[in-house]
Structure 1
Amino acid sequence: MDLEISSLAQSGGATLVTLMATDAWQTAREGFVQLWRRMQPQRAEAVAAELDVGYAEVLAAAVADDQEVLSEVRAEWQGRLRRLLVAQPEAAAELRRLLDEIDPSASAVDAAVTQRATASGHARIYQAGRDQHITER
């Protein structure tokens, strides 16, 4: 699977679920429904209903501080977005534009950073998601 599609879907799902518990929810909801109306019009009404179910689940999970439910809802939407992007790659530009509109801090470029490292012997590993300054003497 294309890393860019996976990263964009991850960012989109995380942003969507985060916004479900904010005042920006209605704007985000409408933007995602419009995205599906343009890309898969036959699925738009079902997606709208699924968004409403997810919204209710997120609100209940936020009140109960249930991180597991929040993670599940996030994963569901990441999967839906990934499937949409795989089926219709032209949706990527629209999803990026939507994310920039509803949550400018959710830039797809900086959305997900996965780092792995293995050290052995006397090796040193330095990892950073952004700037890193190391001064060794």
Structure 2
Amino acid sequence: MKSINLKEKYDLVNGHWHPHQIGVVDNMQVLLAKLKGEFVWHSHDNEDELFQVVKGTLHMQFRDRTEIVQQGEIIIVPKGIEHCPITKNDEEVHVMLFEKLSTAHTGNVADEKTKTDYPEI
């Protein structure tokens, strides 16, 4: 049991859209990621996702609207809801994610941005 310095951990995150695991709480993983540009439209059939914006502004696109998530705010995407995170104006956004260990990065969608491993940092 040690405290985790998020700034130090974000310095270890390589690339965009590639979550890195900083811990596990029961069957939930805590992930850090740097986002830039547009991700992939996808959903998770059996898992909810929680995004906390640590730095910047995240635009969470849904098919019927876009929710703007500011630094210090969270958004919970319920299972089965199609979504696509995006950043604007070439901004790099830092997020912390809370999701089940079983959650596939891009759900059932295979894309060049899909990651199957989350490095532990």
Q: TM-score, normalised by structure 2?
A: 0.33
The structure with the largest alpha-carbon Rg is 1
**Larger fraction in strand:** 2
